[in-house]
Structure 1
């Protein structure tokens, strides 16, 4: 490739803020794989957040880039997969697209095809645009992709705060992850947190049903495993909390010993579950952290903890939850899915056509 900007390039990042700032350009925060895509004629490279190419995993995106991008361009955006049945984003299906077998990659590209949502233009032709104000880069992006067809899209954007607040409330129902706010005069600064992101924050009371030890030693808690009861009164694994100081990890380890039990009779006795049901014990080696042991120590499900989370993906917290406080006043049986706030369903197609 011989572009004004060549791979790898680290993407510009966002820092979290509590509320939507005024006087910015606002975009939906897409829940996908961040990717800077480079096209130089017939050559295409799909970059990633960690600068490792993802080109081989998304052959259908390569085809879409060749059909829709300018002949020479560098465009920042997000690779997404849509659940066409629910008309929402499907991050879990997107994760499955990273597979070592070429035959599997080809099959998944047909079964769960990905798309690309563009939100910044870094280079066009022989021009390096990274020093231009974002508002100008945005206008150039809209212009150069004016005739693009699905699965290539330009993200919606607005400078109206009321519209941004409406998007923040509505778009979560289509599987989106909040808002991104960018200064209109902002140049493109790779690997710097110069944008802001606003995400939903909620709390839930969960049952603590197990723990994993910390990598630094057997007498420290690495993470606590959380559960919620479903309509069948089955305790379902919903996620973990794990952001503790080292002193607290040791204190928690001591506290939890009185609750340690065996897998016999435990709600997550993996051997008693039907194949395919989600439990913390299922697939003890993570495909995303090769060799990482995901086994856990079972606890009697008697303690309740209040945690902060942003949103659910299926039956689980989308991201790692955060400790809020212990709830000795709550009975474990009261920790059900019914307490959770569910966003009103919104159509992904309507998000992609919002301007």
Structure 2
């Protein structure tokens, strides 16, 4: 080539093109990195479901292949007054999942929290009879599950019925019906959609007491001939709790029951807790103080690295037991969506998910993808 014949502008462009370094590799899509291992899901909020958060859908469909309703399917929102069902937002949630070929999970049919007060009382404000509450349960579950028959693939049928020591939570369902309320809920859900998968879901599942209590409950349901397809281990964890060995022991104990295991609400807080080894009791809260909100403007490198390592350790555990785990669901799309910013102390800034507030994958995502690739041949 005769360089003297090349115009100066073109020569400079050629020089820039030659000198320019190659672009960095694109961050892996989370769902692709974990393909063949388990579904990777996320919880959707109102803004994401309605499209008000316009940036959310491309992020959701790129990184996730499963979704769960964060709030719009809870009984207080679905049936705020007896017989008055509001399916507007739930319909849009299910439609979004179907249009984008996502595994859709309904959350949750029976939960003591965020249930409408009328569910448990009569016109005089007194507790209803066992028979009335059972019929209200039957009607609610049959109506909701029946509406989405064949469309919602799995349901969190009962949420958080067992305490950390393994005893029954003294909820209104338990006070009025007794432990049979769990059996009845699963039976009603199965009757409404015989093909849907049915799950029990709870937090602090690494605790030995809760582990034993859930195992006892599920074994009794199985002995009664009740269909239960899976156990959801809410993964609300911190930098120093729970011990991975305890989490693994519970995972193995639940899988030994012959049911699927799901990590249903994974997030990893980096913030201090007002209580040691906090679980996820939504009614608990504490007062705000600046010392309890140490990273309002971003994480120090040391904390960010600790997050990455702890998160990777959990995903290594999930990959180790991929034959037992059917789904890992993050409780939110990005850090800004997370309930952790307001629980147990409102107004804090937390960093608990795999995508930052700008929907950018964190450094640990590439490490998880590398670990997943390494397990493919095992």
Whether TM-score is above 0.5 comes out as no
Greater gyration radius: 2
TM-score (norm 1): 0.25
Structure having greater relative contact order (Cα 8 Å, sep ≥ 6): 1
